[in-house]
Amino acid sequence: MKSPSRSGVFQASTDERLEAFAESISFDSRLYRQDIRGSIAHAEMLSNVGLLTEEEFSLIRDTLVEIQSEIDNDQLPFRFELEDIHMHVEQALIDRIGDVGRKLHTARSRNDQVSTDIRMWVREALDGIDARLETLQRAFLSRCDGDFETILPAYTHLQRAQPVLAPHYWLAYIEKFQRDRERIADCRRRVNQCSLGIAAVAGTTLPIDREQTARQLGFEGVTANSLDTSSDRDFMLESAFVLATIASHLSGWAEEWILWSTVEYNFIKIPQQFCTGSSIMPQKVNPDTLELTRGKSARVMGNLQTLMLLVKNLPLAYNRDLQEDKPPLFDSFDTVQAMLELAAPIVSGSELQREAIESRLERGYLDATTLMEWMIDKGVPQRRAHHLVGAIVGEAMQRDVPLAELPLELLQNHAPEIDATVFDSLGCKNSVAAFVSYGSTAPDQVRLQIDRWKTKLK
Ligand code: ARG
């Protein structure tokens, strides 16, 4: 069959190797619903402005609906010579209704068609990611009350730093995913502009109504410059960036929980249905879901890179290179979606190893900074307090005891400002209770944030 894109100018048929090289149907077939919806809106607009009769529009619409259900049921065979989903749908229409079908592509090009289809697809896919991010936020939030009494070490440089409430950790991830959701909302506004009607590159001489198709397709507005629109893939880059950032957040979390589930940490137990065994070592329960979350994030970041490189040297306007935009974009959406779907049940189903955590909590001098701030509160200049506490910690290390077990006289030898009330701030529990600042791990601050999120995620 001759491709409908080959006009009378061609005297040779397409080399088969080019057909196989140039096809995009193997990946853009997933745009068929958007393509058909776009075509129906386009045909309706054409009939409203007098470029199609009402009967022609009805016939086109009804036939497109039939074609959609055929594709739904895998009944429309895909062929490389028809290149992409746009030509498959158009050809199926022409096969059924002949010349009326040949009118559908009036005032339209595949350049605006593909851009409109992908914008509709991305818009929906972003909403799907947003909903899954919210589910994951809820999973973290669902842990907060039950884990409220558990204190964990906070690390900097992966060295024990200060004590925090476990929910402070969970809220940290809720915040990260909230920023991701805000980025989605922001990017969605630019995705949700309609390209249809810019035609190939310069617009059309025919009296179309772009606002009408845009409204019909649920877009917030129409793009303003046909040259720009024909070439624009910024909305894909932004989406790929948003997804790469989500993947980065998930990867960091996965890395943390992989560490936490080792014998060395023994902080958390991951539900066994998300772990796998070893074919040779019978004792192994491996956190593969988390490892693959970390591993697959590399692909999502690579996809962003691919898209950046794809567009960086393109002169205006549409260039066929742009066909290569879909595989990396689809892959990023699919991968992040799968990661999020697995992350939520792991987060809500994992068990903190409370006793193991508590038994080692007083090691590593998590309360040293609290002691320093206690001294600052008594009037000792920060630099001096910092130095003195360092010396006190050094002595505690030599004796192999926590700060709370040092005798008062020893503390006073270092700093005469210290009195017995200092012990109310030593030890992880006292230390956590001593925090006061907004956004800190102070129990009432954490409670405030949990309540804020409970309201927000209701
Ligand atoms: N298959 C093409 C793509 O996905 C459709 C657009 C082709 N446009 C063109 N002028 N050849 O980008």
Residue located via tokens 């818009």: 123
Task: Classify residue 1: in a domain, yes or no.
Answer: no
Nearest residue to 93 (alpha-carbon basis) of 49, 57, 118: 57
Confidence of residue 4 (pLDDT cuts 50, 70, 90): confident
Q: Which residues pair with 163 in a beta bridge?
A: 153
pLDDT at 224: 98
Residues 340 and 407 both lie in one domain: no
Report DSSP state, residue 276: B
What confidence tier does 1 reach under pLDDT thresholds 50, 70, 90? low
Is 374 a domain residue?
yes
Whether 325 is in a domain gets the answer yes
User: At a CB cut-off of 8 Å and minimum separation 6, what does 373 contact?
Assistant: 385, 434
Q: Range of 82's domain?
A: 16-106
pLDDT computed for residue 10 by the predictor: 95
pTM: 0.97
Which tokens is 427 given?
């030890």
Catalytic position from the list 13, 26, 278, 359 = 278
Asked if residues 453 and 446 have their Cβ atoms less than 8 Å apart, the reply is: no
| Cα–Cα distance measured from residue 456 to residue 446, given in angstroms and rounded to the nearest whole number | 15
Contacts of 384 (CB under 8 A, 6+ apart): none
The answer to whether residues 137 and 48 belong to one domain is: no
Do 335 and 447 lie in one domain? The reply is no
**What is the distance between the alpha carbons of residues 427 and 72, in angstroms, rounded to a whole number?**
63
CATH number at residue 32: 1.10.275.10
Tell me if 171 CB under 6 Å of ligand 1.
Answer: no
d(CA 395, CA 406): 9
110 lines ligand 1 (CB under 6 A): yes
| 197-238: pLDDT as tens digits | 999 999 999 999 999 999 999 999 999 999 999 999 999 999
Q: Domain for residue 150, yes or no?
A: yes
Quote the CA–CA distance of 128 and 333 in Å, as a whole number. 9
Identify the residue whose C-alpha is closest to ligand 1 atom 2.
323
Residue 60 CB partners (closer than 8 Å, separation 6+) = 39, 40, 43, 52, 93, 97, 100, 101, 103, 104
Q: Is 8 inside a domain boundary?
A: no
The last residue of a domain, from among 317, 338, 359: 359
Same domain, 53 and 197: no
Longest CA pairwise span in the chain (Å): 101
Do residue 382 and residue 255 come from a single domain? no
pLDDT tens profile 365-413: 999 999 999 999 999 999 999 999 999 999 999 999 999 999 999 999 9
Q: Quick one: tokens of 41?
A: 């809106």
Percent of the chain with pLDDT over 70: 100
| Residue 2 included in any domain | no
**157 catalytic per annotation:** yes
Residue 194 corresponds to which tokens in the numbers above?
Answer: 């309609």
Cα 112 to ligand 1 centroid, rounded to whole Å: 9
Tokens of 424: 């109310």
Quick one: 201 and 315 in the same domain?
yes
Whether residue 37 is predicted with pLDDT greater than 80 in this model: the reply is yes
Count CA atoms within 13 Å of residue 263 on its CB side: 3
Task: List the CATH number of the domain containing 169.
Answer: 1.20.200.10
CA of 340 to the centre of ligand 1 (A): 32
Residue 121 in domain: yes
The residue nearest atom 12 of ligand 1, judged by CA position, is 323
Please tell me the predicted confidence (pLDDT) of residue 3.
Answer: 77
Can you tell me the mean pLDDT for 14-21?
A: 94
Annotated catalytic residue 437: no
Q: Which residues contact 257 (CB under 8 A, 6 or more apart)?
A: 268, 270, 287, 290, 346, 350
Based on the domain organization, do 189 and 302 belong to the same domain?
yes
What is residue 25's DSSP assignment? Answer: H
The pLDDT tens digits for 66-79 are 999 999 999 999 99
Q: What is the per-residue pLDDT across 333-358, written as a single tens digit (0 to 9) for each? A: 999 999 999 999 999 999 999 999 99
User: Based on the domain organization, do 166 and 274 belong to the same domain?
Assistant: yes
| CA pair distance 175, 180, nearest whole angstrom | 9
Overall domain count for the chain:
3
